[in-house]
Amino acid sequence: TQLLEQSPQFLSIQEGENLTVYCNSSSVFSSLQWYRQEPGEGPVLLVTVVTGGEVKKLKRLTFQFGDARKDSSLHITAAQPGDTGLYLCAGAVAGGTSYGKLTFGQGTILTVHP
Amino acid sequence: DARVTQTPRDKVTEMGQEVTMRCQPILGHNTVFWYRQTMMQGLELLAYFRNRAPLDDSGMPKDRFSAEMPDATLATLKIQPSEPRDSAVYFCASGLTYTDRGQSNEQFFGPGTRLTVL
């Protein structure tokens, strides 16, 4: 069973601060995704990383996939109140009937105060 | 604007009652997932289908939960009998996955059904 551990579970910061969320596993994933979920809604995909060491940027968000494809990080620069939400990482395993199936981390609840 | 739809959005019921949740996946998607989300357990996969065939329902309590896809436009999750510990938000997600071009694992989530069992 592949497990993804996210840290921290809760993050409360002031507008303008930087933050990093980590997603770690002992398993290798073929790809890793980050989702953001707002209250009363389902998660929405932010990014998919596929190659070990890959770095992707989405405005103020920077995503990195570990070289060994076992871990990932999400860094937000100059956080804004609109970044508030639940951030979930999810790993995919290649091959067999499991392709398409994702294992989700527990999530990080981010609150950005004005 | 293609979206996954779920009904009902909210359901309050009493212990022992049957609950049926419905999901309409995005047209053309071949994979449908059912998840349950709670504060304690996070997002748990209950079951999923590809091309309407069940692939994995190991996350589901078999004695009371059942998931079906009567056709490509409808997925259902049924709980009978419901218990207070089933109270959670249930999400349906759909995606397009195929093996000949590698994986395409983006999942599109519906808004969820908030279930409260008293």
Contacts of A30 in chain B (CB under 8 A): 103
Contacts of B104 in chain A (CB under 8 A): 100
On whether the CB atoms of residues B12 and B82 are closer than 8 A, the answer is no
**What per-residue confidence (pLDDT) applies to B101?**
52
Structure tokens at A30: 């073929």
Q: How many residues does chain B have?
A: 118
B25 and chain A in contact, CB less than 8 A: no
pLDDT higher than 70, residue A2: no
Interface A-B: count of C-beta contacts within 8 A: 62
**CB nearest to B106's CB, from A41, A45, A98:** A45
Which band of pLDDT confidence, cut at 50, 70 and 90, is reported for residue A45?
A: very high
Contacts of B94 in chain A (CB under 8 A): none
pLDDT in tens, B77-89: 999 999 999 999 9
| A22/A7 Cα distance (integer angstroms) | 5
Mean pLDDT along residues B31-40: 94
Which band of pLDDT confidence, cut at 50, 70 and 90, is reported for residue A64?
A: very high
Contacts of B55 in chain A (CB under 8 A): 97, 101
pLDDT higher than 90, residue A55: yes
DSSP state of A17: -
**CB nearest to A33's CB, from B45, B105, B108:** B105
Kindly report the nearest CA distance between residue A54 and chain B, in angstroms: 17
- Would you call the peptide bond into A8 cis, given omega within 30 degrees of 0 as the criterion? yes
Q: Which amino acid is at A65?
A: F
- Please identify among residues 51-80 of chain A the ones whose CB lies closer than 8 Å to any CB of chain B: none
Query: Which of helix, strand or coil describes residue B65?
Result: strand
In the block, tokens 């994979």 appear at B31
Mean pLDDT along residues A86-110: 85
